[in-house]
Amino acid sequence: LIDTHAHLACDSFLKDWDEVVDRAIESGINGIVCIICESKEMEVYCRIAEKYNIVYGAVGIHPHDAKDYDKNWKMLEEGLRLPRMKAVGEIGLDYYYKNSSIEKQRIAFREQLEFAKLQNLPVVIHSREAIEDTLKILERFNPIQGVMHCFSGSQETMERFLDMGLFVSFAGPVTFPNAKNLDILAKLVPLDRLLVETDSPYLAPQPKRGKRNEPGFLHYIVEEIANKRKEDITEIIRITEANARKLFKIV
């Protein structure tokens, strides 16, 4: 089982990331993609990656930080030199928080997509209340190797992302009882494009809701998806792990 999106190097795991990873391993996790969003996280990532060879990395300028885009570009180049780096991300658009201007967000997104393409790396995409603009920008890069992280949207938009070759990843919200829309999406996404993630420390799944999320909680998400699809959980684990290995080139 691979957690394709966890902020393991962020402040909320600073004191106990080793215990967190140990618990994850005990729960059956054999891969974690650690998302690096700040330059101070690079050093923490190195320590984690040195101790645990099941931890991989992705680095990107988050839409929240697009305002300091020029300053942050260095982090992107430096980040990719760290061990076991597998992707550029998370990148994208966030019109909900709008911590950076829309214009800056679009530029940062576009340039990082170009950068990832040059490096032949997949992208991890964050899109919140910005689906139409996300699609518009991505269309120029079609086909794209990447994943729509913590996806929520209409069935129609999901199909447009799938048409571009993207994977679709579900996180804790798929376990929330009021998430009727995710119910439909989790049933409809083709198995060969399905990924799972915790987005730790955010968005803990229903049984742990309100607590700090961690990769060891991923099984709640997988169980819920298997239930919704009326499929065997071992099959969902097998296929999502194979998909993660394929996208992030993890051997």
Identity of the residue, 8 or 189, whose beta carbon is nearer to Zn ion in the bound complex: 8
Q: Minimal CA–CA distance to 195: which of 4, 36, 44? A: 4
Alpha-carbon distance values, 52 to 25, 41, 72, 223 (Å):
10, 16, 27, 26
Least CB distance from residue 234 to Zn ion, whole Å? 27
Least CB distance from residue 128 to Zn ion, whole Å? 11
Distance from C-alpha of 6 to C-alpha of 96, rounded to nearest angstrom: 21
Q: Site for Zn ion (CB under 5 A): how many residues?
A: 1
Q: Where in 31-60 is the site for Zn ion (CB under 5 A)?
A: none
Taking residue 187's Cβ as centre, other Cβ atoms within 10 Å add up to 12
Identity of the residue, 163 or 198, whose beta carbon is nearer to Zn ion in the bound complex: 198
Least CB distance from residue 126 to Zn ion, whole Å? 6
Least CB distance from residue 50 to Zn ion, whole Å? 23
Distance from C-alpha of 144 to C-alpha of 162, rounded to nearest angstrom: 10
- Is residue 65 left, alpha or beta, with left meaning phi > 0 and alpha meaning psi from -120 to 50? alpha
Q: Where in 142-201 is the site for Zn ion (CB under 5 A)?
A: 199
| Site of tokens 């995710």 | 182
Q: Where in 86-115 is the site for Zn ion (CB under 5 A)?
A: none
Identity of the residue, 36 or 137, whose beta carbon is nearer to Zn ion in the bound complex: 36
Amino acid at 248: F
Least CB distance from residue 230 to Zn ion, whole Å? 29
Identity of the residue, 199 or 224, whose beta carbon is nearer to Zn ion in the bound complex: 199
Identity of the residue, 32 or 231, whose beta carbon is nearer to Zn ion in the bound complex: 32
Identity of the residue, 21 or 58, whose beta carbon is nearer to Zn ion in the bound complex: 58
Q: Minimal CA–CA distance to 213: which of 199, 192, 231, 232? A: 199
Contact 173, 182 (CB under 8 A): yes
DSSP 8-state class, residue 207: G
Distance from C-alpha of 231 to C-alpha of 228, rounded to nearest angstrom: 8
Q: Where in 61-90 is the site for Zn ion (CB under 5 A)?
A: none
Distance from C-alpha of 13 to C-alpha of 31, rounded to nearest angstrom: 17
Q: Which helix (H) or strand (E) holds 226?
A: helix 218-229
Least CB distance from residue 235 to Zn ion, whole Å? 27
Q: Where in 195-214 is the site for Zn ion (CB under 5 A)?
A: 199
Least CB distance from residue 7 to Zn ion, whole Å? 6
Identity of the residue, 65 or 199, whose beta carbon is nearer to Zn ion in the bound complex: 199
Q: Which residues bind Zn ion (CB under 5 A)?
A: 199
